[in-house]
Chains A and B, each alone.
Chain A
Amino acid sequence: MGNVGAILQFTIDVLSLGSLYALMALGLVIIYGILRLVNFAYGELIMVAGYTLFLLHPTPLPWLIMGLLAVSVSVATAYLTERIAFRPVREQSLTAMLITSFAVSTMLQNAAMLFVSPRAKVVPLPELFTVQLTIAERIVPLRNLIAIGVSVALLALFALLLKRTILGIALRAAADRFTMTRMLGIPANLIIGTAFAISGLLAGTVALFWFGRTGSVTPEIGLWPLLVAFVSTVIGGMRSLLGAVVGGYVLALIQMAFSNFLPPALLEFRVAFVFTLVIFILLFRPEGLIRER
């Protein structure tokens, strides 16, 4: 019974963490696919959701409404950074966009320090997130199961959008041949604006569960999720949406395996072990696990 419980717990840990990584990676790769831009301001979409929750804390709003507002702020931030920061330099060069993404990231972080605080702030969480279930003699936080459920639902919805709607088909086409989609009359601004909004939706949703784990928000909170998303897309393959999802789950599997099975003396080096293994994966599959077609 102990073994079954351990396997179950490990599986749930990997799936819940992997779901968050997968959503993050997807949001990064959807923009990379179209613009060839790694959006370094992506982690800040998590941060703004965190501060929205923090600022809404004193209000009597039910948490679900706070959560929806936080996600909306992520979507709005993603869309507005595209409108205000990226669109004017889009025609210039990729380097200009890349530097712009650093600038947006720094500005958002500094705004948080200036207008809120450089220190960690507590984020309100729903009661549901503190519930612990006992399954096969193991303690499993309910929020991990919710994270899996919400992520899978979001991934399914996203897949449906890409497959069934004309906008989704256009997004997939644009990821392959952006100029050609424009020559068919599909407006570049529509495609890119949609891609940014989707990346905001994904990051905002991840944020809710991310803060469920950390409990507090700081101006630099976005760095780790950005890194995780980037590494996941590199593992999975930068040019494939499916690759981003696979990469997210693989990274979570590696991370959880090291956290669980490394001897205690080495545990503090687990991040180094994770990235060493990532390097080995890339040595053998430089294009990532999922190749384009």
Chain B
Amino acid sequence: MLRLEDVHARYGAIAALRGVSVDVQPGELVALIGANGAGKSTLLSTIAGIIRPHQGRIEFRNESLIGLVPERIVRRGLAMVPEDRQIFPALTVEENLRLGAYIRKNRDEYETDLERMFDLFPILKERFAQPAGTMSGGEQQQLAIARALMSHPQLLMLDEPSLGLAPKIVEQVFALIQELHNEGMTILLVEQNVSMTLGIADRAYVLNMGAVRAAGTPAELRQNVDLASVYLGGVG
């Protein structure tokens, strides 16, 4: 469904990606794990069209994404929940969700989609008319995911959804990601929480210094890779 081949990209002056190849099949939950600065977020930003790769191929459903601006890429069916959530704090929950549905033109479906979001995230119904910035971190994360889902993506990219959340909330977020996955959503997940991520992922890639150091199913990775060192950036 999504295929990256030998992608190189710079983030400022730094070569943040040095020949990354990643592959996501329909219905899969694929994780990218690795230490801070390994290039995980850069990789998602590159797929989303925010950073332009200077070498390599990115294909989504057999069509190249290279050179497309972010607003075109989301129309191809790729939705992004960025690091730090990036909700619109001054806007109400309702307005955040309306913007999430911007590329959808069907008004009736919007109402149905809202109901579905309220089922998945009951708190959003409660907070509907409230400015999003007044919600807790966990609630904001739910809003960020709901906003992305409003666009009916074929593939959902999540960048560190557990960042800065209390342990109990982190568990809820992971349970939610698993639920979405069980419903058939294709997900590309970036995480630093390696053990929990491997608990729900079908496959994972270990990134280090902008390159893929290891890849495989969670069982394979647990057997072949010193996962404790993934945090520290050194993968043997």
Is B86 on the interface with A (CB-CB < 8 A)?
yes
Contacts of A176 in B (CB 8 A): 88-91
Q: Which residues of A line the B interface, CB within 8 A?
A: 166, 169-170, 172-173, 176-177, 179-188, 292-293
Q: How far is the CA of A186 from the CA of B98 in the complex (A)?
A: 12
Q: Which residues of B line the A interface, CB within 8 A?
A: 48, 50, 69-71, 74-75, 80, 82, 86, 88-91, 95-96, 98-100, 102-103, 131, 133, 147, 151
The answer on a CB contact under 8 Å between A179 and B50 is yes
Contacts of A172 in B (CB 8 A): 88, 90-91, 95
Contacts of B82 in A (CB 8 A): 180, 183
The answer on a CB contact under 8 Å between B90 and A186 is no
Contacts A/B (CB < 8 Å), 22 sampled: A166-B99, A166-B102, A169-B91, A169-B98, A170-B102, A173-B91, A176-B89, A179-B50, A183-B48, A183-B70, A183-B71, A183-B80, A184-B99, A184-B100, A184-B102, A184-B147, A184-B151, A185-B71, A185-B102, A186-B71, A186-B99, A293-B89
Contacts of A177 in B (CB 8 A): 86, 88
Contacts of A293 in B (CB 8 A): 89-90, 131, 133
How far, in Å, is A140 (CB) from chain B's closest CB? 38
Which residue of A is nearest B100, CB measured? A184
> A169 and B71 in contact (CB under 8 A), knowing A177-B86, A180-B82, A183-B48?
no
The answer on a CB contact under 8 Å between B151 and A185 is yes
The answer on a CB contact under 8 Å between A188 and B71 is yes
Q: A166-B102, A172-B90, A183-B82 are in contact. List 7 more A-B contacts (CB 8 A).
A: A173-B99, A176-B88, A176-B91, A179-B70, A183-B70, A188-B69, A292-B90
The answer on a CB contact under 8 Å between B99 and A170 is yes
Contacts of A187 in B (CB 8 A): 71
Contacts of B103 in A (CB 8 A): 184-185
How far, in Å, is A15 (CB) from chain B's closest CB? 27
The answer on a CB contact under 8 Å between B99 and A169 is yes
Contacts of A169 in B (CB 8 A): 91, 95, 98-99
How far, in Å, is B67 (CB) from chain A's closest CB? 13
Q: How far is the CA of A292 from the CA of B133 in the complex (A)?
A: 11
Q: How far is the CA of A177 from the CA of B133 in the complex (A)?
A: 13
How far, in Å, is A91 (CB) from chain B's closest CB? 10
Contacts of A188 in B (CB 8 A): 69, 71
Q: How far is the CA of A252 from the CA of B89 in the complex (A)?
A: 31
How far, in Å, is A56 (CB) from chain B's closest CB? 40
The answer on a CB contact under 8 Å between A185 and B75 is yes
How far, in Å, is B69 (CB) from chain A's closest CB? 7
Q: How far is the CA of A184 from the CA of B71 in the complex (A)?
A: 6
How far, in Å, is A287 (CB) from chain B's closest CB? 16
How far, in Å, is B236 (CB) from chain A's closest CB? 36
Q: How far is the CA of A172 from the CA of B71 in the complex (A)?
A: 17
The answer on a CB contact under 8 Å between A180 and B88 is yes
How far, in Å, is A193 (CB) from chain B's closest CB? 13
Contacts of A185 in B (CB 8 A): 71, 74-75, 102-103, 151
Q: How far is the CA of A61 from the CA of B115 in the complex (A)?
A: 56
The answer on a CB contact under 8 Å between B90 and A182 is no
Q: How far is the CA of A184 from the CA of B86 in the complex (A)?
A: 11
How far, in Å, is B78 (CB) from chain A's closest CB? 9
How far, in Å, is B15 (CB) from chain A's closest CB? 20
Contacts of B69 in A (CB 8 A): 182, 188
How far, in Å, is A181 (CB) from chain B's closest CB? 7
How far, in Å, is B158 (CB) from chain A's closest CB? 13
How far, in Å, is A191 (CB) from chain B's closest CB? 10
How far, in Å, is A239 (CB) from chain B's closest CB? 10
Contacts of A173 in B (CB 8 A): 88, 91, 95-96, 99
Which residue of A is nearest B133, CB measured? A293
Q: How far is the CA of A169 from the CA of B96 in the complex (A)?
A: 9
Contacts of B90 in A (CB 8 A): 172, 176, 292-293
How far, in Å, is B10 (CB) from chain A's closest CB? 15
How far, in Å, is A64 (CB) from chain B's closest CB? 37
Q: How far is the CA of A49 from the CA of B131 in the complex (A)?
A: 39
Q: How far is the CA of A170 from the CA of B103 in the complex (A)?
A: 12
Contacts of B74 in A (CB 8 A): 183-185
